[in-house]
Amino acid sequence: MKILVAEDEALLLKTMAIKLGREGYEVVTCNNGIDALQQITDANPDLVITDMNLPGADGLTIVKTAIEAQKQVMVLSGMTQAGHVQTALDLGACDFLEKPFSLQELTKRVAALVTK
């Protein structure tokens, strides 16, 4: 399974990529919304994990694009604005993980999405 992770916090992005890679997933990373939108097409991931607040293009744009491309989407956010998260879920995102989160929780939720 190929996972696209879009996150602008460099340390978190690297940590997530390492952990998911150790779990056996092929991981493609990007640190801005423009690259994320391009990688949805170029990398053809099975799952997109995106932060809601990225430079270049916001998380809702990424969610819309991924859903239109028939990809599963998990949203990450430290924002307390429930409206953005609810909108992402209404658009078709299948999960939401609030920052900060544990890597165990991330891999547990990714595994649950894989088995759906």
Is 112 a domain residue? no
Q: If pLDDT is split at 50, 70 and 90, which confidence band does 79 have?
A: low
Give how many domains the chain has, as a whole number.
1
Q: What is the arithmetic mean of pLDDT over 30-36?
A: 97
Q: What is the mean pLDDT of residues 109-113?
A: 94
| C-alpha–C-alpha distance, residues 72 and 45, integer Å | 9
> Is residue 76 pLDDT above 60, yes or no?
yes
Joined together, the tokens standing for residue 107 give 């891999």
From residue 101, give the alpha-carbon distance in Å to each of 15, 17, 77, 94.
12, 15, 10, 17
Strand 26-30 to strand 2-6: parallel, antiparallel, or no bridges (unpaired)? parallel
In a domain, 89, yes or no: yes
What CATH number is given to the structural domain containing 96? 3.40.50.2300
Residue 81 or 36, more confident: 36
The model's confidence at residue 80, banded by pLDDT at 50, 70 and 90, is: low
Strands (E), the chain: 2-6, 26-30, 47-51, 72-77, 95-98
Q: What is the mean pLDDT of residues 79-95?
A: 81
